[in-house]
Amino acid sequence: MNPDVLWRYAPSLVSGFGVTVLCWSAGGALGIVLGFVIALALRAPIPPLRWILRVFIEIFRGTPFLVQLFLLYAGGPYVGFKLSATTAGILGLGLYSSAYFAENFRAGFAAVPVGQIEAATSVGMSPFDTLMRVTLPSALISATPAIVNMLIVLSKETVVLSIITVPELMYQMQTMAAETFTAFDAIFAMAVFYWLLVETVSRLGHRVEARVTQFLAREGAFA
C-alpha cells in the first residue's frame, strides 16, 4: 500500500466516484421511467406493439451489457449518431436496465390481486381511477423489492463504462494504476469505493422497501 499515491490521486478518484454515481443514478432513472412505460404499453391490447416490446426486452436481457455499450458508442457513428462517452454510458445503462425494470413492473402488475380490482369495479369506479388509485399503487408496492435489487446490480454494472472511456471510478483507477504501477492499491481502493456505494444504496433501498411494503405485512394472513 502506498498512501501517498492514493492521496495524490484523490481528486481524480473522487471525481471518478462522482461520475459513477451520476451515471448510475441517471441511467437507473432513465431505466425505471422507460421500463415503466414499457410495462404499461405491454398491457395495451395492441398485439404488434406488445410483440415489438417483447423483442426489445429479450434483446436487452439476452445480450451482454458490454456488447450493447460497444454497439451504442462505437457503432453509433456508422448509423449517423455520435454520442459522448458519458452520454452513451448513461443511455446504455438506461436501455439495458429498462428491460429488467419492465419485467419488474410487469410482475408487479401481475401480482395485483384481482379482488382489489373487483372491489373498485363493484363500487362503479372508472377504469382510469381504478388504474391510478388501485392497480398502480398495488403494483408499485409489489415491484419495489425487485426494483431496489436491480438498482444495486446496476450500480456495479457501471464499471463496464470505463471500457468506452467514461471517466468514472474504474477508469480513474486504471489511469492511476498505469501511471504509478500501483495495481494493488488501485484495486483495493476501488473495492472500498464500490462497497461504500453499494452498501449505501442497499441501506437506502431497504428503508424504502420497509416503508412501502408495511401495508402488505400481514396480507393473506386471514385469507
Give CA separation, 175 vs 26, 115, 180, in Å: 24, 58, 9
215 lines the binding site for other proteins (CB under 8 A): yes
CB nearer other proteins, residue 62 or residue 220: 220
Kindly state the smallest distance separating residue 138's Cβ from other proteins, in Å.
Answer: 6
CB nearer other proteins, residue 156 or residue 211: 211
Question: Is 65 strand, coil or helix?
Answer: helix
CB nearer other proteins, residue 67 or residue 123: 123
| Contact (CB, 8 A) for 161 and 170 | yes
Three cell numbers, residue 97: 436496465
Among 3, 48, 80, 124, binds other proteins (CB under 8 A): 124
138 lines the binding site for other proteins (CB under 8 A): yes
Among 64, 126, 179, 203, binds other proteins (CB under 8 A): 126
Residue in the structure block whose three cell numbers are 462517452: 85
209 lines the binding site for other proteins (CB under 8 A): no
DSSP 160: G
Among 134, 146, 159, 163, binds other proteins (CB under 8 A): 134
Task: Name the nearest CA neighbour of 106 among 37, 28, 171, 179.
Answer: 37
Kindly state the smallest distance separating residue 129's Cβ from other proteins, in Å.
Answer: 5
Distance, CA of 116 to CA of 121 (rounded, Å): 9
What character string, x for contact with other proteins (CB under 8 A) and - otherwise, covers 100-119?
-------------x-xx-xx
| Contact (CB, 8 A) for 53 and 41 | yes
